[in-house]
Amino acid sequence: MLVKRLGRVAYSEAYQAMQDFTAQRSLETPDELWLCEHPPVFTQGLAGLAVHVHHAGDIPVIATNRGGQVTYHGPGQVMAYPMVNLQRAGYFVKEHVYRLEEAVIRTLAHFGVTGHRVANAPGIYVRLADPFAHNALTGPATPGDPFKGLGKISALGIKVSRHCTYHGLALNVKMDLEPFQRINPCGYAGLQTVDLFTIGVNTTWEEAAEVLASKLTPLLSP
């Protein structure tokens, strides 16, 4: 898998580039992983509902063809866009999502943080009270509040075209979290969003991106 570090790039530019790459690739085209960050932007998934955006203010809202609802991207957040030929890799979409989440969990573990999955809510979450605790989430979710005591640190949404994936995941490192309060993150009212810095991990965007890439590439390669 070829890893490309794009730096800060406008979301619309990256979105178009991913679509172009996927449309033009052949069966022999190597898979690629793009790492970047975006200027402030809200993005809506295919099923995105306007009601989940409370007040965008001066931040643009862009409709996309990925799965999921609305989320926010901005400086200090690592965007990882894996373009993977699933047919060649030998696994399916559900497994691809699992591997993306697993890469985030392993990245968090590198920094001593325990990441958790929540059933039917793609992405990775941490315990707000003790993000460094290693005990697993147990028992059924709290009725009416499956995210009680949790904060979301990584969101994901993908698109598959011609057996090839694009879009990907976001890992919050050290960013302005205020814009998340303008939306229902991923369609969940009241869901708290956190980054590594707010839970006690002071690292750079560059280090987090490199660790994430080192976890993603072996998990996603055939």
Nearest to 124 by CA among 144, 140, 147, 158: 147
Tokens for 220? 């996603």
CA dihedral 196, 202, 205, 209 (to 10 degrees): -70
Q: Choosing from 80, 186, 191, 209, which is the catalytic residue?
A: 186
Give the span between the Cα atoms of 96 and 211, in whole angstroms: 19
Give the span between the Cα atoms of 190 and 148, in whole angstroms: 10
Domain boundaries, the chain: 2-220
Q: What is the pLDDT of residue 142?
A: 63
Question: Which is it for strands 121-127 and 77-83: parallel, antiparallel or unpaired?
Answer: unpaired
| Three-state SS sequence of 137-162 | CCCCCECCECCCCEEEEEEEEEEEEC
Share of the chain above pLDDT 90, in %: 86
| Positive or negative: CA dihedral 82, 87, 88, 91 | positive
User: What is 2-220's CATH topology?
Assistant: BirA Bifunctional Protein; domain 2 (3.30.930)
Convert the pLDDT of each residue in 116-163 to its tens digit: 999 889 999 999 999 999 888 766 566 667 788 999 999 999 999 999
Q: Is residue 186 among the annotated active site residues?
A: yes
User: How many Å separate Cα 100 from the centre of its chain?
Assistant: 8
Side chain identity, residue 189: A
Give the span between the Cα atoms of 133 and 217, in whole angstroms: 27
pTM of the model: 0.95
**Is residue 155 within 8 Å of residue 121, measured between CB atoms?**
no
3-state helix, strand, coil split of the chain in percent (to 5) is: 30, 30, 40
pLDDT at position 210 over 60 = yes
Convert the pLDDT of each residue in 153-193 to its tens digit: 999 999 999 999 999 999 999 999 999 999 999 888 889 99
Which segments of 47-92 does DSSP mark as H helices, in order? 86-89
**Is residue 6 within 8 Å of residue 34, measured between CB atoms?**
yes
